[in-house]
Amino acid sequence: MKHILFVASESLPFVKTGGLADVVGSLPQALSSKNRVSVFIPLYQSVIAKLKDAKPVVTFTVNTPCINQVATILKQTHDGIDFYFLQHQGYFERDGLYGYPDDGERFSFFNLACAMFIEKVNLSVDIIHSHDWHAGMIPLLSRVVFKHHPNHKNIKHVFTIHNLAYQGQFPLSVAKDCLGLSDQIINDGSIRFDDGINFMKSAIVYAHKVTTVSPSYAQEILGLSFGERLHEVLRLRQYDLYGILNGIDTKFWDPSSDPLIKHHYDVETLDNKVKNKLELQRKCGLKPTENTLLLGVVSRLTWQKGIHLILDQMADIMGLDVQLIVLGSGEAHLEHGFRHMVEKYYGRLAYVAGYNEPLAHEIYAGCDLLLMPSLFEPCGLSQMIAMRYGTLPVVREVGGLRDSVMPYNSETQEGTGFSFKEFTTSDLYHVLRMAVYLYYHYPIEFEQTQRNAMSVDFSWALSSEQYAKVYDSL
Ligand code: ADP
Ligand code: GLC
């Protein structure tokens, strides 16, 4: 049995800002029948209230030219998985997770403390599986800086790219003063990027295997358009690069038992779904009519998600006989756009800002269609969750959306959603109009498509096998 240590910046059930937390919170469970899996994350302010009987494991000092700080590691077991939390009040006990001017220093500390933790406590780790830029310096630290230590010597490294758009780029001083790296490492080309350094690049260079979260995205990032200026580095590693589609926690996301929705249903009792629609409409100030098609959006409001296509096309979308509910926060102009639209389409359009887990569940359960017109999408979980709840996704054919949504085919009656190719308002509108038409004029076909979507296996069963193969190949 191998011991695999996941290192990431967020994980359910403790802290989540996006799909990374879903994956780090659910993949270990799927792997745990054949492996021992532990998880290492920072102890953010919001995590403290969720700890029960967490015990300190070790305390040590991280010492580099600009960091001289004490790190304490706490441990708590959750559902059979050991979680290790890095405690440092100044760095992590803040209101949010990211976007602070000292992020370079904070996450240097996170990477160094993790490497030192492995050195100090013999956990017999075989594989470190680090995720996204926040843990991007771990392979370099473990394989170069700490390589002579017996606890590090034989560790193999897997790195998963969840989103190449966020790379952790910092000035050179972060490498020298915060990470304490030598001039030789800094200048050998493996971590340099523009005038500074790049955590994501370092991980791509130093990990034994690199994975990303869908087969299509694994191809897309090798090209100029989606490679985010790291495509050439990725091409050098393309024979060690794997695209493995994410799964979701199908016990947590289950319309037949979800404690956050009022009316439970499954493929056999799909008729009950509409009762959730009525609850949702009432709750959000939409006119409660079970026959009106209800569109939903559950998303970070960022350029990645193609949200402005929806805003730009709003007049035409509202010209269809539909209601729309949007949940999410993000870029100010997008939030402002929806606030403005609510005034215009009062009673037909609802906008709820913020991160709201219960409402997200109610939207997945209560809507007929979920809009996800992403510019790029490494995997995307919202569309899978929606399908599980019989809410048909309308997506752009890109990344994981392309790999998980099978477009409706009127001839064969196959399909689990609707998709369009070009990133334009007219393509989005065209396919949305078709879906709306199907809903109103061909309800039997629409319902069959909902049943198709609900019957797809989005669990980790298949994908965790693929991760196991990657681990075995090391
Ligand atoms: P990303 O990680 O790029 O944000 P994903 O689709 O992979 O996109 O994952 C998003 C996850 O976050 C899903 O579990 C989704 O339900 C959840 N989510 C997104 N926005 C919100 C929100 N405003 N409130 C609650 N949950 C949200
Ligand atoms: C990132 C991506 C999203 C993916 C998630 C989990 O946040 O934007 O597409 O589903 O990570 O891997």
- For residues 409 and 444, membership in a common domain is answered with yes
Whether 105 is in a domain gets the answer yes
How confident is the model over 238-244, as a mean pLDDT? 98
Q: Report residue 120 as tokens.
A: 């100090």
Residue span of the structural domain in which 361 resides: 267-454
- For residues 281 and 135, membership in a common domain is answered with no
Residue 210's pLDDT band (boundaries 50, 70, 90)?
A: very high
CATH code for the domain of 106: 3.40.50.2000
- For residues 177 and 323, membership in a common domain is answered with no
- For residues 225 and 334, membership in a common domain is answered with no
- For residues 374 and 419, membership in a common domain is answered with yes
Whether 210 is in a domain gets the answer yes
Whether 253 is in a domain gets the answer no
Residue 330, phi-psi category: left (phi > 0), alpha (psi -120 to 50), beta (remainder): left
* pLDDT in the model for residue 137: 98
- For residues 211 and 290, membership in a common domain is answered with no
How confident is the model over 76-84, as a mean pLDDT? 97
Whether 359 is in a domain gets the answer yes
CB atoms within 10 A of CB 300: 17
Whether 431 is in a domain gets the answer yes
pLDDT 10s digits, 348-376: 999 999 999 999 999 999 999 999 999 99
Residues 351, 352, 353, CA angle at the centre, nearest 5°? 115
Q: What is the reported pTM?
A: 0.97
Residue 306, phi-psi category: left (phi > 0), alpha (psi -120 to 50), beta (remainder): left
pLDDT 10s digits, 114-137: 999 999 999 999 999 999 999 999
Residue 205's pLDDT band (boundaries 50, 70, 90)?
A: very high
394 within 8 A of 372, measured Cβ to Cβ: yes
Residues 6+ away with beta carbon under 8 Å from 269: none
- For residues 465 and 397, membership in a common domain is answered with no
* pLDDT in the model for residue 26: 98
* pLDDT in the model for residue 410: 94
Give CA–CA dist 47/168, Å, rounded.
23
Whether 256 is in a domain gets the answer no
Whether 262 is in a domain gets the answer no
Q: Please classify residue 7 by burial: count the beta carbons closer than 10 Å to its beta carbon, then call 0-12 exposed, 13-18 middle and 19+ buried.
A: buried
Q: Strand (E) positions, 8-92?
A: 36-42, 55-63, 68-78, 81-87
What are the φ and ψ backbone dihedral angles of 443, each rounded to 5 degrees?
A: -60, -30
Gap from CA of 188 to ligand 1 centroid (Å)? 38
The CA-based dihedral angle spanning residues 282, 287, 288, 294, taken in that order and rounded to the nearest 10 degrees: -100
Ligand with the closest atom to the CA of 24: 2
Number of domains in the chain: 2
- For residues 120 and 50, membership in a common domain is answered with yes
Closest Cα to atom 20, ligand 1: which residue? 299
Check pocket membership of 463 for ligand 2, CB cut-off 6 A: no
- For residues 164 and 278, membership in a common domain is answered with no
Residue 239's pLDDT band (boundaries 50, 70, 90)?
A: very high
- For residues 392 and 468, membership in a common domain is answered with no
**Share above pLDDT 90 across residues of the chain, in percent, rounded to a whole number:** 100
- For residues 393 and 433, membership in a common domain is answered with yes
Gap from CA of 298 to ligand 1 centroid (Å)? 6
**How big is the chain, counted in residues?**
474
Mutate-to-test residue for ligand 1 from 300, 307, 361, highest number of ligand atoms within 8 A of CB: 300
* pLDDT in the model for residue 397: 98
- For residues 277 and 240, membership in a common domain is answered with no
Q: Which residues line ligand 1 (CB under 6 A)?
A: 18-19, 22, 298-300, 327-328, 355-357, 360, 379-382, 385
Check pocket membership of 19 for ligand 2, CB cut-off 6 A: yes
